[in-house]
Amino acid sequence: MQEAIHEREAALAILEEHIYELSKLFRESYLRTGRGALVVHTHLLEIGHQPSMIDYHTRKQSLDLFDSKNSKHELAEMIDGYDPNSEGILVLITATNANATWFVDVKLKSRIR
């Protein structure tokens, strides 16, 4: 589990360096596609992949990533409760090697219009 936590922290550090681009990407994807989340795989970030429009998953696509009913329910609540005027970026960080996923909500000061 320590390896998975390390992967998550490394992914967050990489994403933090590009928070402006990430927020712009999320905003454009949300407005174009509707409710959903950015799905980020730690191993892709480690080799230099920067999230793009293709990494944005609709609500259904995001939920289909999980087998656990509890995980699906928790994620569905996060996506359904998302308020673009007060929330930020909803990101799913997946550590494939450790079979672990974290839901991250990054609060931003700007609003989606």
3-state secondary structure the chain: CHHHHHHHHHHHHHHHHCHHHHHHHHHHHHHHHCCEEEEEEHHHHHCCCCCCHHHEEEHHHHHCCCCCHHHHHHHHHHHHCCCCCCCCEEEEEEEHHHCEEEEEEECCCCCCC
pLDDT interval class at 113 (50, 70, 90): very low
Q: What is the mean pLDDT of the chain?
A: 80
- Domains of the chain: which residue ranges? 2-106
pLDDT in tens, 26-68: 888 888 999 888 888 888 888 888 889 999 999 999 999 888 8
pLDDT, residue 27, reads 83
